Structure formats: C-alpha cells, structure tokens
Amino acid sequence: MNYFPNYYSIEDIFVTQEKVECRVNTKLQRMGFLDSGADTDDLEPGRTVNLPLWYIKELKVNNAYFTVSVPEIYRNVHKAVCEAETTHIELGRLHPYFYEFGRYLTPYDRNHTLRQRVRHLLDISKSDGQAAKAEHRLDNIEAKLHEAGVRTNSQYIEWLQMTGNKIRTSVLVEEHQKKRRRADRSDDEGETRHTKKVASMSSPLAMYTRESFSRMVLRMLRSETNGVENSIMNISRK
Amino acid sequence: MSRSNKLFGDKAFDLLKELERSSQTIPAFDDDGVRQVLEEIKAIFEENVAQASTYNASGDRSLWPLLNFRHAALQRNKRCLLAYLYERCKRIKALRWEFGPIIPGDIKQSLCEPEVHFFNNYSKSLAAYMCSAGYNQGLPIDLTNNLRPPKSLYIEVRCMEDYGKFELDDGEVIHLKKNSQHYLPRAQVESLVRQGILHHIA
C-alpha cells in the first residue's frame, strides 16, 4: 500500500475518489448496494458498476471479482489525437486530474499506451508552462506548473527592477480583511467598526534597542537615499 | 444492510472538498461532519467484526469481498479524517506566521477547542525556539521578521486605519492616524505592514 506523495495529500485523496467502471466477474454476495440499478442483495456477474479508485487500489490487478476497464480518455482514439497535435487537446476537460488518475490506472492498461502518453504529455506541459492559457485546457498538474512558471517570472522581473524588498501585507491577512469588509458591508452600514489592537508588540521590538543610537543618527538623514543610509550604517557599526 | 446509492467514504470526502474550496482561510470546524464520519467508521467496524467472527466459526469465504470492501472504506475514512485535521493544522501554523501571536476573533470562532490549544502550543514552542536561537547574543531573534532580505533601514509607510499610539524602541511615540504618512525603521513596523495596518509605499 503506497500513498503518493504522502498519506495526508488532499490532492491524492481527490484523485482516488474518482469512479472507474468495472465489470463483475463472480457472484458477490450482499454487495448489491454497489449497483444502483440492481434490485437484489447480491451482485450478479456481468454487471458493470462504478467503483471508487480507493477500493480498486486495494485489490490486486488480476483479482477474481472485478475487471477494470480503462476509461475512454486513455484509449487509443485519444492517443492518436494526442500524438498528432499534442498541445491541442483540452486536457482539463477530459479529466481535471489527468496525469494522477492515469498513474493509478497504468497497471490495468495492457497496451501500455498510457505510459507513453503520460511521458509524452509531460514534455509538452513543461514547454508551454509560461504561456497564458484558458483554464479548462490544463489539467491539475499543468495548472500548477503554469502557476509556478508565472510566479517565478514575476519574481525575476521584480528582482531586476529592485522592487522585491517591499514589504507586503500577507496574503492570509488580505483575504481575511476582504472577508471582513464584505461582512461589514452586508451588516449595518452605520455601525462603527472596532479596530483591533495588536497586543504584545513589545517583545519583538525589545531586541533592537542596542541599535537605536545609530538609528537616531540616521533619522536626521532621513531624506537621504538608501545607499547613503547603508554606508552610514556600516560606518557607525565599525 | 440495504444502503442507498451513497457510498461509504463520501461524507469524509465532503469534509475535504469543503476545506479545499476555501483554499486561503480556514472554514469553520465541521463538528457534525466529523462526528458522522466517526459514526460511519464505527458502524463499518462493528459489521466487520460480526462477519469476521462468523467467518472464523464457519470458514465460509463467500462474504470475503464484502469484508474487504468495507475494510477499504474504513481505511479510506480514516485517511480522509486525518488529512482533514492535518491540513487544518498546517493552516493554523501559517496563521501564526501571518497574523502574529494573536488570532483575530472571527477566525478563532472557526477553530475548535483542541485547535486553539494547538495554536497556543505552537506559538509557545516557536517563541521558545526564537529565544534559544539568539542565545549567543543574549537577545531573542524574531524569526517572523525579515521574511525577505531587507534592503533599506527605513521605509515610508501610509497608515490604512486608525491604529493609535505606537512606541518606537528609542522611546519616541508616533500617532498612527488613518491616511497619515511616516518614515519609520523597517524592522519595527514590518509586522504592522504584514497585518495590513500600514501600507509600504515606494
């Protein structure tokens, strides 16, 4: 039993929640509840049921009870399209977790078409990581790659323009404030919002007292540029 | 044992779906959902125990697949629950770094009792670590400061809300009023900027 990338991965849980079509091979007593169309208590051979991936994972590949049929999206038709024009497929529409899902189903695909495809597709997703694309064309992994690429790019530009040292309001706080503002708006308009005092500011501040003298010197020069400040700071340290 | 189409493990999955939908903030702790999942686990377990004992007595293997399925469902439920708690813990840890040692009241409401406890303990151990990290200099190091390398000692900030008085290390008291601008030492106001009270300009 292995979990990828780890036991607590929510993404992996999402993938394994997916249902896969299976054919029943033997009579399974009292498992009729799995088949919504069945009226008997038992599961008859020959029926097809949708089973979640987390159950199939537990079974052996060649188990006597179920035969797993590989979903349409990993079949040959799509493979042909894929090889013809790789960037053209709307992967996200086929399946939001295309690669991860495929990874689990690999053992059930006798033709190994899937293996080639996954590798093939990984190549293209790397190459188009930067381009802005319509959301639904990317599958989950590709969307993440894309996001990472865009973020790296913007950080690089920031670094080039030397604006990276600006302190920003943290993302979590921003979200929280937005939510609060929304709530306030929906509440009574005239109500005065109480501002939250942030307590215990003193402890992180106490550590800087040693340097406060040089800061006072610096304050007199507050109109100077950063470079001058830095050099003065260095001198006063020496 | 005639269950509806609702499969085992769906409730546990719903918990995670809810958590994933709000990817930044923490939704309220779903007490009811967790309890339902726990009840489901318990029910599955009891059925399995009953069946396993009849299997031991009679050696009848015909119910084996059912037993197997329910066991898988049980483990699935367990995994979902643990992942739910773990993800929340991760977000609570992030809270400590983003909001500082005090959680805003409305976020606190969406945490359950043990989670508040966890936050306090985490905060405590982080503080203890920060003290020990700066031991050589005899001063604690605030690790939540300077998350990006500082380039200048002073920064220009604009006040976004009426905060009140703010005392600097050298004893000078500044009155932070809405829309006023100040030129302040970076290290001392960084946490205020991160909390959205000040806005760093230029």
ipTM: 0.70
C-alpha–C-alpha distance, residues A102 and A70, integer Å: 9
The neighbouring-strand residues paired with B157 are B182, B200
| Residue of A161, A176, A181 for testing the chain B interface, max B β-carbons within 10 Å | A176
A79 confidence band (pLDDT: 50, 70, 90): low
Closest-CA distance, A122 to chain B, in angstroms, reads 25
* Residues in contact with A191: Cβ distance below 8 Å, sequence separation at least 6, in sequence order: A184
Burial (CB count within 10 angstroms: exposed 0-12, middle 13-18, buried 19+), residue A121: buried
What is B10-133's CATH topology?
Answer: Methane Monooxygenase Hydroxylase; Chain G, domain 1 (1.20.58)
Measured between alpha carbons, how far is A155 from A5 in angstroms, rounded to an integer? 27
Query: Cβ A204–B144 below 8 Å, yes or no?
Result: yes
Distances (CA, A) of A236 to A193, A212, B137, B186: 45, 12, 19, 18
Tell me if the domain spanning B154-201 has CATH number 3.40.50.
no
pTM score? 0.68
What's the pLDDT band for B201 if we cut at 50, 70, 90? confident
| Of residues A9, A52, A59, nearest to B9 (C-beta) | A52
Q: Assign B70 a pLDDT band (cuts: 50, 70, 90).
A: confident
pLDDT of residue A102: 64
The answer to whether A132 contacts chain B (CB < 8 Å) is no
Which residue is closest to B149 within chain A, CA to CA?
A165
Residue of B72, B154, B190 lying closest to A218 (CB–CB): B154
Distance to chain A for B91, nearest Cα, Å? 10
Which pLDDT belongs to residue A237? 53
Q: Residue A34: its chain B contacts at CB < 8 A?
A: 7, 69
What are the structural domains, with CATH classification, of chain A? 1-69 (1.20.58.2050), 71-166 (1.20.58.2050)
CB contact under 8 A, A170 and B83: no
Task: Quickly state the pLDDT bin for A72 (edges 50, 70, 90).
Answer: low
Q: Is A17 on the interface with B (CB under 8 A)?
A: yes
Residues of chain B with CATH 1.20.58.1030: 10-133
CATH 3.40.5 in chain B: give the residue spans.
154-201
Q: Do A212 and B169 touch (CB under 8 A)?
A: yes
Asked if B167 and B173 count as a contact pair (C-beta separation under 8 A), the reply is yes
Whether the per-residue pLDDT at A115 is higher than 60: the answer is no
Residue B14 has pLDDT above 80, yes or no: yes
Distance (Å) from the alpha carbon of A57 to chain B's nearest alpha carbon: 9
User: Edge to edge, what strands does the sheet with B198-201 contain?
Assistant: B181-185, B154-159, B198-201
Q: Are A212 and B188 in contact (CB under 8 A)?
A: no
Of A68-72, A232-236, B148-152, B162-166, highest mean pLDDT: B162-166
**Contacts for A65 with CB less than 8 Å, ≥ 6 apart:** A24, A25, A26, A28, A59, B65
Q: Verify whether the Cβ–Cβ distance A7 to B161 is below 8 Å.
A: no
What is the phi/psi pair of residue B125, to 5°? -70, -30
What percentage of chain A carries pLDDT values higher than 70?
A: 30
Q: Which residue has the higher pLDDT, A176 or B86?
A: B86
* Residues B100, A171: C-beta atoms closer than 8 Å: no
Min Cα–Cα distance to chain A from B120, Å: 14
In the predicted structure, residue B180 carries a pLDDT above the cut 80:
yes
Give me the pLDDT at residue A37, please: 64
Query: What H or E segment, with its residue span, contains residue A124?
Result: helix A113-127
Reported confidence tier of residue B122, pLDDT bands at 50, 70, 90: very high
Determine contact: A84 vs chain B, CB below 8 A: no
